[in-house]
Structure 1
Amino acid sequence: MHIVLSGYYGFDNVGDEAILFSIVHALRKWQPDVDITVLSNNPVSTAKTYGVNTVNRWKLKEISQVLKQADGLISGGGSLMQDQTGMKSIPYYCGIIRIAKFHKKPVFVYAQGMGPINQKISQLLVKNTFKKVEQITVRDEASKQLLADIGVENSVSIVPDPVMGLDAKAFRSDWLAQQTFDNGYITVSVRDWPSAVQFKRKIADSLDLLARDGKTIVFIPMHGEHDEKSSNALAALMQEKSIVAPGNVSIEEKIHIIGQSDLLIGMRLHSLIFSAIQATPFIALSYDPKIDAFAEIAKQPVIGHVEKDDWDGTQLFERAVDMLANRPALEQALREQVQTLQAEANATAKLALETFSK
Structure 2
Amino acid sequence: MAKNKIVLSGYYGFSNAGDEAMLYSILRSLTMTIDNPEITVISGHPEVTEQQFNVKAVSRFDGWGIIKAIWKSDILISGGGSLLQDVTSANSILYYMLIILIGVLMRKKVVLFAQGIGPVRYRVTRITLKHVLNHVDIITVRDKESKGFLTRLGVRTPIYHTADAVMLLPSVSKDTGRKILNAYGVPKDKKLIGISVRNWDGIEKWKDDFNRFVKKLLEDENLAIVFITMQNPDDAEAAGCIIQPDNRRVFLVRNVINVNELMSVIGNMDVLVGMRLHALIFASIMHVPTVGISYDPKIDNFLDSIHEEVACHISSFDVEKLYNKTCDLLKEPAGEHDWSAVEALRDRSQETIRLLKKLAIHRED
TM-score range normalised by the length of the shorter chain: over 0.9
Provide the rounded CA distance (Å) in 2 between the counterparts of 1:115 and 1:191: 20
Q: CA deviation at 1:84?
A: 0.5
Q: CA deviation at 1:330?
A: 4.9
Provide the rounded CA distance (Å) in 1 between the counterparts of 2:234 and 2:255: 9
Provide the rounded CA distance (Å) in 1 between the counterparts of 2:58 and 2:353: 22
Q: How does 1:66-85 map to 2 (within 5 A)?
A: 66-85=69-88
Q: CA deviation at 1:198?
A: 3.5
* Partner residue in 2 for 1:191: 198
Query: Of residues 306, 319, 322 in structure 2, which corresponds to 1:316?
Result: 322
Provide the rounded CA distance (Å) in 2 between the counterparts of 1:301 and 1:140: 15
* Partner residue in 2 for 1:14: 17
* Partner residue in 1 for 2:285: 277
Q: In the alignment, residue 14 of structure 2 is paired with which amino acid?
A: F
Q: In the alignment, residue 353 of structure 2 is paired with which amino acid?
A: A
Q: Does 1:30 align with 2:33?
A: yes
Q: Does 1:45 align with 2:52?
A: no
Query: Of residues 240, 243, 254 in structure 2, which corresponds to 1:232?
Result: 240
Q: In the alignment, residue 348 of structure 1 is paired with which amino acid?
A: T
Provide the rounded CA distance (Å) in 2 between the counterparts of 1:275 and 1:264: 7
The Cα offsets for residues 308-355 of structure 1, whole Å up to 9 and x where unpaired, read as 2xx522221111111111153553x12x22223223323312311321
The Cα offsets for residues 122-165 of structure 1, whole Å up to 9 and x where unpaired, read as 11121111000000110111111111232222221101101111
Provide the rounded CA distance (Å) in 2 between the counterparts of 1:78 and 1:224: 19
Higher mean alpha-carbon deviation, 155-164 vs 179-188, is at 179-188
* Partner residue in 2 for 1:351: 355
Question: CA 1:157 to 1:125, structure 2 compared with 1: closer, same or farther past 3 Å?
Answer: same
The Cα offsets for residues 274-320 of structure 1, whole Å up to 9 and x where unpaired, read as 00001110000001111001111122331111112xx5222211111
* Partner residue in 2 for 1:166: 169
Q: How does 1:195-210 map to 2 (within 5 A)?
A: 198-210=205-217
Question: CA 1:240 to 1:138, structure 2 compared with 1: closer, same or farther past 3 Å?
Answer: same
Provide the rounded CA distance (Å) in 2 between the counterparts of 1:237 and 1:176: 18
- The question of whether the paired residues in 2 share the 8 Å contact of 1:204 and 1:238 is answered with no
TM norm structure 2: 0.92
Provide the rounded CA distance (Å) in 1 between the counterparts of 2:215 and 2:266: 20
- The question of whether the paired residues in 1 share the 8 Å contact of 2:25 and 2:169 is answered with yes
Kindly report structure 1 stretches of 4+ aligned residues shifted beyond 6 Å. 237-240
Q: CA deviation at 1:2?
A: 1.2
SS in 1 for 2:320: helix
Q: Does 1:246 align with 2:254?
A: yes
Query: Of residues 277, 282, 300 in structure 2, which corresponds to 1:292?
Result: 300
Provide the rounded CA distance (Å) in 1 between the counterparts of 2:276 and 2:13: 18
Query: Of residues 115, 118, 131 in structure 2, which corresponds to 1:115?
Result: 118
* Partner residue in 1 for 2:341: 337
Higher mean alpha-carbon deviation, 320-329 vs 158-167, is at 320-329
Structure 1 residues without counterparts, runs of 5 or longer:
none
Provide the rounded CA distance (Å) in 2 between the counterparts of 1:60 and 1:246: 34
Structure 2 residues without counterparts, runs of 5 or longer:
none
SS in 2 for 1:343: helix
Provide the rounded CA distance (Å) in 2 between the counterparts of 1:330 and 1:287: 29
TM norm structure 1: 0.94
SS in 2 for 1:188: strand
Count, aligned residues: 354
Provide the rounded CA distance (Å) in 2 between the counterparts of 1:288 and 1:327: 31
Q: CA deviation at 1:237?
A: 8.8
Provide the rounded CA distance (Å) in 2 between the counterparts of 1:287 and 1:106: 34
